Structure 1
Amino acid sequence: MSATTDTSAAKTATEDHPSSAGDGGGLGLRRYRDLSLLPVILVLGLIGFIVSPAFLTSDNLLGVAQQSTELSLLVLAEAMILISGRMDLSLESTIGVAPVIAIWLVLPADGGRFHGLGLLPSWTAVPVCLLVGALIGAVNGFLILKLRLNGFIVTLGALTMLRGLQVAISQGQSIVDLPGSFTYLGSSSWLGAPAPVWICVLLFAIGGSALAWLRHGRALYAIGGNSEAARTAGIRVDRVMWAVLILGSLLAAFAGILYTGHYGSISADQGSGWIFQVFAATVIGGVSLNGGRGTLFGALTGVLTLQLVVNVMTLAGVPPLWNQFLNGAIIIVALIISRFASGEKQD
């Protein structure tokens, strides 16, 4: 790619990057969107302390962080895909089906209630799970980018198909006879905190740095803002998008490993309904559904906000049956705020 092309691509990406936007338009809040949830988090912390002194204990806060990690990885994946102008609904199925397939291939046929194939040694469970995730993303990318099928319908169909495959392979029951190598990361603690928390922070830091400073990371904003302009600037749009879809599914499979290790089993409905929480977190975190806007830091604050709301409600004795209603309400309110804050039209 020539220097002129690099400059054009960088210019396009900068124009679409939210942190580079000016004060004009909407309510002039665009540059502060990434930080907009920090006051909300502080208020939730104050409410939580008033509701219960146990809120600020290390056990409770570490518990909130631990419960946020798997959802955070799905949000990390979805945020990158949304920034590039696409969406992937199948992530909630990948978090369940990838671990199920991996364990099915490594567990012996006569092992416990769940009868696996026993084709591979137990130490391969983690790499096989990640490989399954990458394969799902690659197939989605092929259907969307090569066959030019509607991405929403493709990933919706994949969500349904993969969920059915997960239930069929697991025989509708939880799998508890798991190799230690598969549960290690999700159940371990490093330096006094759960290992998944450190891993999640590291992955968000890497992802955020890549989007801010690497050429291919900035290209996501250019593609999401105007894919044709990005293609004219020399960005290989299909190749970048394919890589993002594979990376997203890979992160979802890795989230499945952490979730499995955390709870010590794989349930037949693992991940079911998570996509609603994923979109709630990304939208309230400032990631635009139209593509080209948002940051991973904002998406992470969206996850923390949702988890703190649930935690405060739990400490206050509110029945968990209200959680789904609350998530839906948060999405709608966030869309309204985003519409007036940015001045952009929501399709």
Structure 2
Amino acid sequence: MVKIGNINLPEFPLLLAPMEDVSDPPFRAVCKENGADLMYTEFISSEGLIRDAIKSRRKLDIFDYERPIGIQIFGGDEEALALSAKIVEAVQPDLVDINFGCPVKKVVSKGAGAGVLKDIDLMVRLTESVVKSTHLPVTVKTRLGWDDHSKNIEEVAERLQDVGIKALSIHGRTRAQMYKGEADWTLIAKVKNNPRIQIPIFGNGDIDSPEKAWEYKNKYGVDGIMIGRAAIGYPWIFREIKHYFTTKTLLPSPTIRERVDVCKKHLLKSIEWKGPIVGINEMRRHYTNYLKGLPGIKEYRNKLVTLKETEEILQVLTEIEHRYEGYNFERTPIELMNYHEKCPL
């Protein structure tokens, strides 16, 4: 069993990464049903929360069936982060997570996200301000460092543990890498194997198959794995990894019926949570991923991203299910979607 403060997780938990414009309640619901053990909200601006920005406040929506769930905040000001943690506490999540990993320019330029990687002392002060402001367990998500010349994650891990964080998730790239190249898990392993480190260490980056999850679990010794892009349009990644860990056999790829059923469920939950106009519009980014690999799907996909009525969209999805009934999806590594500007990891 893995513990984060008073939260009990199963042995080697699978975490759903916080992804901007992706990890909303409808997406989290289908990931939870498929085996995600711990999930996080989209990252929320501390300044936005304090200003009572509608979009930021809406991201605080969490539901009991999602538990355990963490709310992730970001910012570069100690007082603002501490105050936002108190606001977050009011909706009673299971933990508060601080984002020190988002590499996109609009976040970094404000001295937040991965921008804090250039100033470890500031990172420590920001973290300590949150820890002192809430009774909830505080965790951190970050990267190896700013660039190849400043991979300071070993020092960061020790110092953040010293000020009270209860777990650390590490993405195996620097800020300079963005999402390019391969994630380097060797430094994540060094953090985990540091005898001073007593908190759970979760690895993140490039996990796109059950086989790779098993390999990285054994090779790097982390306490669990955080999965982001590989779950977009493929929430089955969680159940497939768990099945492989237990049986060392691969589950068959989800059938077209399973894919359409989950896509419909995702759509209806999106409409329920966001309303019909926004719910339908924001669901459009997901169809490509759910239907990836189907030959001749472009015609249907073009309909799905232009239709505005729920029943019409559901009808097209039903047509897709009937047309491709019995289609044999080949098992290939999941293509990691490139969401640079959305800052998913």
* TM-score normalised over the length of structure 1: 0.23
> Whose helix proportion is higher, 1 or 2?
1
> Whose strand proportion is higher, 1 or 2?
2
Q: Which has the higher contact order (CA 8 A, sep 6+)?
A: 1
